[in-house]
Amino acid sequence: MTIKALIMKYLNGDTAAFNTLVNHWQKPIHNFVLRYADCPDTAKNLTQQTFIRAYQRIRKLDNPTRFSSWLYRIALNAPTTGQPDEFAHRQGLRAVLGRALQEVPEQRRVIVIIKEYQGLKFREIAEVLELPNNTVKSRLYYGLKALRNRFDQWNVTEEVVWYDA
């Protein structure tokens, strides 16, 4: 069943349809906020907040075919302040990448995460962030460049990345 059909079923009174939407989108949203927040407990809470807000606001969704963009926007706008710093407890490449991502300016970091980890297309990212396509492309370029520069400063080479991956 399509996302649009599930939304329409829910709007017509079938509460189980919303549960199906949550089951379908829970892992992608959790992975997104985990990479954005870089803290498992915070990501769990943000994922839950995202679906609570989606439940509260789904009747305001103008175009059900844009549900994924709308849901990522809700996740992106969830409050992320006060996150515990877990970098000291993490090891390996994931920790280095997470730390490097946190040092990329937020406007660029969000686009890198959405594009590289969530696999959204440029037009979808532009829709989520309400930006022109070229701005999204530019911010992705500069975000990846910032990561590369950070890795260079830390002497993280491509060989190390491929060996640890």
For residue 71, tell me if it sits in a domain.
Answer: yes
Pair (68, 98) in one structural domain: no
User: Higher-confidence residue: 54 or 87?
Assistant: 54
Yes or no: say if 11 and 67 are a contact pair by the CB < 8 Å rule.
Answer: no
For the whole model, what pTM was predicted?
0.57
Phi/psi region, residue 6 (left: phi>0; alpha: psi -120 to 50; beta: rest), is alpha
- Judge whether 125 lies within some domain: yes
Residues 160 and 93 in one domain: yes
Pick the last residue of a domain from 14, 47, 77. Answer: 77
* Residue 40 vs residue 91, higher pLDDT: 40
- Indicate whether 46 and 113 sit together in one domain: no
Asked if residue 161 has pLDDT above 90, the reply is no
Residue 56 belongs to some domain of the structure:
yes
Residue 29 vs residues 10, 55, 58, 73: alpha-carbon distances, Å: 20, 15, 16, 10
Each residue's pLDDT tens digit, 27-37: 999 998 888 77
163 has a pLDDT exceeding 60: no
Does residue 3 contact residue 68 with C-beta atoms inside 8 Å? yes
88-115: pLDDT as tens digits? 333 456 677 888 888 999 999 999 999 9
Q: Which domain holds residue 29?
A: 3-77
In this prediction, residue 42 carries a pLDDT of: 82
Q: Tell me, what's the pLDDT at 82?
A: 45
Within 10 angstroms of residue 96's Cβ, the number of other Cβ atoms is: 19
Q: What is the pLDDT of residues 41-82, one digit of tens each?
A: 888 888 998 999 999 899 988 888 889 999 998 998 876 544
Q: Are residues 56 and 110 in the same domain?
A: no
Domain end (from 39, 54, 77): 77
DSSP string for residues in 44-77: HHHHHHHHHHHHHHGGG-S-GGGHHHHHHHHHHH
Is residue 10 in some structural domain? yes
Question: Does residue 101 form part of some domain?
Answer: yes
In this structure, is residue 160 part of a structural domain? yes
Measured from the Cβ of residue 131, the count of other Cβ atoms closer than 10 Å reads: 17
